Amino acid sequence: MSANTTIEPVANPRAPLFRRLPVVSHFNKSMGLQRFMLVVGLVLTGIFLLTALAAPLLAPYGFAQLSDADGSFPTQQAPGGKHLLGTTVGGYDVLSRVIWGTQTALLVIIVAVVLSIFAGVILGLVSGYIGGWLDRILVVVADAIYAFPSLLVAIVMAIVISGGQSSLFGGILAAAISITVVFIPQYFRVIRAETIRLKAEPFVESAKVVGASNVRIMTRHIYRNATRTLPLIFTLNASESILTLAGLGFLGFGIEPSSAAEWGFDLNKALADTTSGIWWTGLFPGLAIVWTVLGLTLVGESINDLNDPRLRGRKRTNRKGSAAAAPAAANGSGPATELSNP
Amino acid sequence: MTTLIDAPPSDADALLPLKKKQAGGGLGQYILVRFLLIFPTILILVTMVFFLMRITGDPITAAMGGRLPPEQLQERIHAAGYDRPLMMQYFEYLGQLVTGNFGTTLSDNRKVTEMLTTYGAATLELSINAIIVALLVGIPLGMVAAHRRDHLPDAVLRILAILFYATPVFFAGMLLKLVFSVWLGWLPVAGRAGTRTELSLTALQAPTGIYWLDALRSGNMAALSDVMSHAVLPALALGLLTAGVFLRLVRTNVIGTLGKDYVEAGRSRGVSEFRLVTKHAYKPALIPIITVMGLQIAVLLGGAVLTETTFEWKGLGFQLANYLTARDFVAVQGIVVLLAVIVAVTNFIVDIIAALIDPRVRY
């Protein structure tokens, strides 16, 4: 997350650092419904994060625990009593697995997103700026992977990487790398497109005239502006990686139940229960997925809308006046320059 | 994922130059280059899958390992030629692909091409149903949201769209099944049709494999209603996912065009607000949706794997999951090649449309 602090060109560069942090600055810009959605998203995401961190304290049992002092857990027991959300067909406690699942999800998000940001941003910058044959080849490869159903890419990668491995770390790494392979082309495309657009901007040309080196132009002039959307992609991809992880688990290519709790896997096992009317084994892991994805997407959504002046709520009375907004526009940062709105 | 990031609101101004000055020689060349790029795209995917699958071992050991004594296993590997150098096998495989020979599946010994056409029809049917649901739900709701921007309907619809996106297809499918099939008992739990319908439809002469089309052709109304009742829940589960994307796109783009001068001019001439949204602002806003619809094909195919597994809908995705579990790499490669061709061709069409709309896209 620390990378995010540097890449967001905020309207007023003289505001204290705290107010310039991505989410904080967005919160200040927001109003009405947008603020509501941002706050709901932040709350949902915050609860998810807290649960992941405090899982050992919150979960009544271990994720692979099948018995306690009183003996084995009953199987497919309805919610209530000792097992608040019931037990699964295998005898796991549903509540515990839902809670422990947050940790798995968080770990996979972090590993997957960090890996793909590194690879995708570098490739996109270089490819877009240098152009030529390198660009052509990278675009074809990235397009081939990007256009292909991402879940299938992830499945193929999961088979290759894990190949029956079932340890917690191995499983998480396999899932994360599978997701990374899917994400790299996405970052690549976004960053490359922005780079190509920015390359033609007057401020890049003037930097060239002044004699700035290619590396300097790439890292200072273009990188700063091209990664404007990164916090957005970060949150959206975080939610996407949850969905991909769950999809992998649902198809049986995820993490073994004895090495970590994974919601998709639990849903897979719950599919057969549904037909006989047993709802609690599937409902709660499913709701956990929806909760997490919803929270992350609401945050990402709001940031997206707030970055785009056309979608931002109509709040025209800027306290500091247009003087503060002008430098940002002059930087060529974002759609503001494309707009001739009064 | 990028499906969720809004395409920038359609720039209606960008359309005008194209009409005024003809696109010139650049376009024809672009189309040709873009067409030729289809082949490397397919080649890259085929190559990736071939080598990735082989990293995990040869197909026969993967499929039969443990079920056959080692000597017999060795014999079969040798007979199939899997003990030869990898590059030789690779080029042989490419040669086979060019001649349209996809091989024979290992687990159930069927011709891959025959398997692809049988199950491909089922997946096609599911995708068509899902797109219909997505368009019927997404476009009108998106227009409502844009029209009532920043008011309650907009708020509800936007949250709904995100909810559609946030719900995994298989969880949505599971909930739909639970409510409509198990609790209410209105709709069948799984499958594409009842056993009797399925038999009567496959007995048809030259069946298309798309059940409702076959049922319609044979004039068998009982079969048609049976097929329809089976189709509802999978189409909803998969369609609503895409509907959320369409809703957001239509909303963003209609908002973009609603701010244009010509809409304002229409308003000042007394054109009703309803007509402004449905006629004036809606049509230019549709252009980016067409391109996104092309990209949605990949999302649909990925979602189809999950939907088909949830509803035991015997299409490519359902089979793919089965073949993957059975480690039947010949079948998996066949399915991947078919999907790669579909995706590459769709992308080509989308890129051409995008280039026709916005000359700046060409490189």
Q: Is A164 on the interface with B (CB under 8 A)?
A: no
pLDDT in tens, A217-244: 877 777 777 766 676 677 777 888 888 8
**B315, burial (CB in 10 Å: exposed 0-12, middle 13-18, buried 19+):** buried
**pLDDT band of A12, cuts 50, 70, 90:** low
Q: Do A150 and B2 touch (CB under 8 A)?
A: no
Residues of B in Cβ contact (< 8 Å) with A304: 5-6
A140 vs B41, B56, B158: nearest CB: B41
Chain B, nearest residue to A183 by Cα: B1
Q: Do A149 and B298 touch (CB under 8 A)?
A: yes
Chain B, nearest residue to A131 by Cα: B363
Chain B, nearest residue to A278 by Cα: B178
pLDDT in tens, B20-59: 444 445 778 888 888 887 887 788 888 888 887 777 666 6
Between A10 and A242, residue with greater pLDDT: A242
pLDDT in tens, B63-114: 666 667 777 777 777 777 777 777 888 888 888 888 877 777 777 778 888 8
Q: Which two tokens stand for residue B83?
A: 């003990």
Separation CA A189–CA B337 (nearest Å): 23
Q: Do B255 and A311 touch (CB under 8 A)?
A: yes
* DSSP letter for each residue of A54-92: THHHH-SS-TT--EETTEEPPSSPPSBTTBTT-B-TTS-
Q: Is A124 on the interface with B (CB under 8 A)?
A: no
Query: Which of A233, A235, A250 is the best residue to mutate to test the B interface, defined by the most B CB atoms within 10 Å of its own CB?
Result: A250
Query: Is residue A128 within 8 Å of residue A194, measured between CB atoms?
Result: yes
Separation CA B3–CA B293 (nearest Å): 9
Residues of B in Cβ contact (< 8 Å) with A237: 1
Separation CA A174–CA A161 (nearest Å): 6
Residues of A in Cβ contact (< 8 Å) with B9: 310
Dihedral (C-alpha) A247, A249, A251, A253: value to the nearest 10 degrees? 120
pLDDT in tens, B216-249: 777 777 777 777 778 888 888 888 888 888 888 8
Separation CA A86–CA B156 (nearest Å): 33
For strands A67-68 and A71-72, give the pairing: antiparallel
From the list A169, A159, A163, the residue with the least C-alpha distance to A259 is A169
Q: Which residues contact B328 (CB under 8 A, 6 or more apart)?
A: B59, B63, B105, B106, B107
Selection from A252-266, B12-26, B62-76, B338-352 with the highest mean pLDDT: B338-352
Nearest chain B CA: its distance from A212 CA (Å): 25
CA B130, B133, B137, B140 torsion-angle sign? positive
Q: Which two tokens stand for residue A195?
A: 């780079």
Whether the per-residue pLDDT at B319 is higher than 70: the answer is yes
Q: Which two tokens stand for residue B258?
A: 């609603």
- Range 279-318 of A in CB contact (< 8 A) with B: 279, 282-283, 286, 289-290, 293-294, 297-298, 301, 304, 308, 310-311, 313-314
**pLDDT band of A324, cuts 50, 70, 90:** very low
A225, amino acid identity: N
Among residues of chain A, what percentage have pLDDT more than 90?
Answer: 0
Residues of B in Cβ contact (< 8 Å) with A157: 52
Query: Which of B38, B174, B323, B327 is the best residue to mutate to test the A interface, defined by the most A CB atoms within 10 Å of its own CB?
Result: B174
Separation CA A300–CA B243 (nearest Å): 19
A-B CB pairs within 8 A amount to 174
